[in-house]
Chain A
Amino acid sequence: MNDLLRTEELTREYDAKTAVSDVSMSVNVGDIVGIMGPSGSGKSTLFRLINLLERPTKGRIFFDGEEISYSRPDVYLIRRKMALVLQKPAAMNRSVFNNVAYGLELRQLEKEEIQKRVDDYLERLGLTESKLRNARSLSGGEMQRMCFARSVIVEPRLILLDEFTANLDPQNISILEKAVRDFVKQEGRAAIIITHNPFQAKRLCDRSALMMNGKLVEIGETWKIFNDPVDERTRAFVSGEMVF
């Protein structure tokens, strides 16, 4: 099977600092991949590179078998095949409905279709009653659910979740994890998740990776990473000796 996403020696340098260094990885359809690692290890930069929000200093990205060329003026069309959910929910100053509808409006869908799809996703994520409220008045959990709905409603083939359940209560974490699982497994998509929580990686991810100092230390099946890691640093992390 072709990889949905493949990166080859992806590197991002800022002046003297190397945020991401030679990261090569692949993600297939139906995969949920977890990336763990300490703060400042380059995980969020890697997401911005994959989502084409930043240009790599070196390396290549292939999406659906096609190498991404940043010089293309329509690079935003490739970006439309992915979606990013950030740790800090980014609510635009408009209603919940209009926030969730935003990506569909960019794609110029018919109003009736937008209405139908937004209502459906708001119901799935338990936000129907809040749909006319200004999104900035939502609680943290509601806001993150809205951000998730806004990202998946455009039916991206790959969703990037950057610590998307950090600081949420168990109920909201459970709702969002189920939504991710359904989205990937039932609808044939893929997800990459940045998480500080090894239990979340165990619950949710088919494969897991440890990232440190901009480098991918180890990536493999989640059970193997947690039960039989190859690298000493991974072993220290999963055994709880390394805390971040």
Chain B
Amino acid sequence: MVDGVTYDVVQVTLLSLYVSGSATILGSLIGIPLGAAIGLKEFGGKGLLKTITYTMYGFPPVISGLFIYYVFSRAGPLGDFGILFTPTAMILAQTLLVIPLVAGITITSVTEVDRNIKNTVRSLGANDRQATFTVIKEAWVGVITAVMIGFGRAIAEVGAAYMVGGNIDGKTRVLTTAIMLETRMGHFEYAVGLGVVLLIVACGVFLFMRWLQERELL
């Protein structure tokens, strides 16, 4: 323990997991069907939409934070919800970062599923929804990779979490914002320790996802 550090590291770690895990789940629930639809449907402007999705891989967290900040600030269009400086706002800001990554990698993954399988699935009588679900299952390894990368993006970002969460002790402080705080205060060893905790947490989540990825779909 370093002098002056009073917050509960376990609570900060659990909040990090809660915020980034929720953002990953929410972003995947939107990004996977979105990516599958873009990858499997033929429509005008498909190429442009794919390019936009891939470009959004580089969407800066502070811009995501700024957007959520504006929308949910007192003067913003959804200010009445009063969620600014809560974990909910952090989840929404991180979700915006996760969606393009998950959608983009899902596009690539479903596109690469053998065309013969896509034809066979439809030939056997699958409707659009059933065919899409089956192709997503066939692209399982790629889709889980998409979710892993989405989680990696969420757990590692600091700009959006800081901007819309405010790094409030006991309320919105997560591992990345805590590391930033400790560094600013000159507690380098403590910041490094928190960094190690962050890596261990990420490693645990990735191990779980790799288990999911490598499971035989029998």
Q: Which residues of A contact B (CB under 8 A)?
A: 48, 51, 53, 74, 76-77, 79-80, 82-84, 86, 88-90, 92-95, 98, 102-103, 106-107, 132, 134, 147, 150-151, 154
Contacts and interface: CB of A to CB of B under 8 A. Distances in A.
B140 A93 contact: yes
Contact of A53 (B114, B122, B127): B122
Contacts of B216: 134
B86 interface: no
Contact of B116 (A74, A86, A106, A151): A86
Given A90-B117, A90-B119, A107 B218 contact: no
A92 B124 CA distance: 13
A233 B160 CA distance: 71
Given A88-B116, A92-B138, A51 B124 contact: no
B111 interface: no
A103 B217 contact: no
B125 interface: yes
Contacts of A151: 123-124
A106 B127 CA distance: 9
A29 B102 CA distance: 48
Given A90-B120, A94-B218, 15 more contacts: A53-B119, A76-B127, A76-B128, A80-B124, A88-B116, A90-B116, A90-B119, A92-B117, A92-B137, A102-B134, A106-B124, A107-B125, A134-B218, A150-B120, A151-B123
Interface in B91-129: 114, 116-117, 119-128
B11 interface: no
B117 A79 contact: no
Contact of A93 (B116, B127, B138): B138
Q: How large is the interface on B (under 10, 10 to 19, 20 to 34, 35 or more residues)?
A: 20 to 34
B163 to A, nearest CB: 42
Given A92-B134, A93-B140, A53 B123 contact: yes
A74 to B, nearest CB: 8
Closest 5 A/B residue pairs (Cβ) = A80-B125, A90-B116, A84-B123, A103-B124, A90-B120
A232 to B, nearest CB: 35
Nearest to B117: A90
A192 to B, nearest CB: 13
B55 interface: no
10 contacts: A51-B123, A74-B127, A76-B126, A83-B123, A83-B124, A92-B120, A92-B134, A92-B137, A95-B218, A154-B124
A230 to B, nearest CB: 33
B123 A82 contact: yes
B119 A79 contact: no
A99 B218 CA distance: 10
B130 interface: yes
Contacts of A76: 122, 125-128
A149 to B, nearest CB: 12
Interface in B204-218: 216-218
A123 B86 CA distance: 61
Contact of A98 (B114, B128, B218): B218
A103 B125 contact: yes
A82 B120 CA distance: 11
Contacts of B128: 76
Contacts of B120: 84, 86, 90, 92, 147, 150
Interface string B132-157: 00100110100000000000000000
A125 to B, nearest CB: 17
Given A76-B127, A106-B130, A93 B122 contact: no
Nearest to A86: B116
A126 B114 CA distance: 26
A174 to B, nearest CB: 24
Contacts of A48: 119
Interface string B51-68: 000000000000000000
A114 B133 CA distance: 20
A79 B43 CA distance: 22
Contacts of A86: 116, 119-120
B126 A132 contact: no
